[in-house]
């Protein structure tokens, strides 16, 4: 079940990779039409897939850094960082094709890659502005603005304290941000959820199964993550009808 849900979440991203990659293959920019068919298609779809994977890593990294930045600044930095591994991929392909780039041409190659990356990230930014977050049930901006864009519209499942950081579990994945659990809980008061442990807050709708034993309970969430219930919080959850 979890694998099926994960596949469903990947489908829009895979479709985007195929559509944009195919579009660029048809255009054949930067003389890539010389690769012929289907070489040019594999070239651009492969680079789009590399860009998508790089974007996922970059957004995870930036979630700690750009929480309070304007979204345009966030996307600009993201496009530059994503261009680094994609440029490395272009250089590697050229080397394998026995047509390696010279060191002098590498900045130009990076610029051309960045143009494509900037266009794709700008599209994502425009789509984010066109489809704003719903007003209710609301997650406070103090928490929402710290999340990477890919998680901001996903259902919130749980909050997990990890030292000075907070892992935010959503229906589209998780992110580690710099925030106290108490501040995050204050930002989700509009949601139906409760603190289950000194290090955990869980949304009621996220609970899949409940296992009890030895006076303790463990909540298995819809994403497969297990959240503990401490003795000090168990009575409050029982009174609220959670189990």
CATH of the domain at 170: 2.40.50.1020
Q: Is residue 6 located within the same domain as residue 100?
A: yes
Q: Is residue 222 part of a domain?
A: yes
Cβ pair 140, 187 in contact under 8 A? yes
Buried/exposed code over 58-74 (b: 16+ C-beta within 10 A; e: otherwise): bbbebbeebbeeeeeeb
- Joined tokens for residue 215: 């006076």
What are the tens digits of pLDDT across the range 56-77?
888 777 766 665 567 778 788 8
What are the tens digits of pLDDT across the range 62-121?
766 665 567 778 788 888 999 999 999 889 888 887 778 888 989 999 999 899 888 888
Q: List beta partners, residue 175.
A: 168
Q: Is residue 147 part of a domain?
A: no
pLDDT > 90? residue 158:
yes
Q: Is residue 118 located within the same domain as residue 205?
A: no
Total structural domains within the chain: 2
Q: Is residue 125 located within the same domain as residue 32?
A: yes
pTM score:
0.50
Q: Is residue 116 located within the same domain as residue 165?
A: no
| Nearest partner of 47 among 75, 3, 88, 96, judged by Cα | 88
Q: State how far the Cα of 56 lies from the Cα of 60, in Å rounded to an integer.
A: 6
Q: Is residue 88 located within the same domain as residue 37?
A: yes
State mean pLDDT over 140-149. 84
Sorting pLDDT into bands at 50, 70 and 90, what band is 43? confident
pLDDT > 70? residue 129:
no
pLDDT > 90? residue 167:
yes
Q: Is residue 126 located within the same domain as residue 173?
A: no
Q: Which domain holds residue 67?
A: 2-130
Q: Is residue 165 part of a domain?
A: yes
């Amino acid at each position: 079940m979890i694998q099926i849900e994960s596949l469903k979440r990947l489908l829009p991203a895979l479709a985007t990779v195929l559509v944009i990659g195919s579009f660029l293959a048809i255009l054949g920019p930067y003389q890539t039409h010389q690769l012929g068919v289907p070489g040019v298609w594999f070239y651009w779809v492969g680079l789009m897939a590399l860009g998508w994977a790089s974007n996922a890593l970059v957004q995870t990294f930036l979630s700690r850094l750009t929480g309070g930045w304007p979204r345009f600044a966030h996307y600009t930095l993201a496009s530059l960082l994503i261009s680094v591994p994609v440029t490395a991929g272009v250089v590697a392909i050229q080397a394998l094709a026995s047509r390696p780039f010279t060191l002098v041409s590498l900045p130009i190659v990076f610029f051309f890659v960045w143009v494509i990356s900037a266009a794709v990230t700008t599209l994502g930014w425009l789509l984010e502005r066109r489809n704003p977050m719903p007003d209710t049930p609301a997650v406070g901006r103090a928490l929402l603005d710290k999340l990477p864009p890919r998680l901001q519209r996903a259902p919130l499942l749980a909050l997990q304290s990890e030292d000075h950081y907070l892992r935010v579990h959503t229906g589209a994945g998780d992110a580690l941000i710099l925030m106290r659990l108490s501040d995050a809980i204050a930002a989700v008061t509009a949601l139906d959820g409760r603190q289950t442990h000194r290090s955990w807050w869980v949304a009621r709708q996220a609970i899949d199964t409940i296992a009890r034993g030895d006076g303790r309970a463990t909540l298995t969430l819809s994403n497969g993550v297990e959240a503990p219930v401490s003795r000090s919080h168990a009575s409050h959850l029982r009174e609220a009808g959670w189990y």
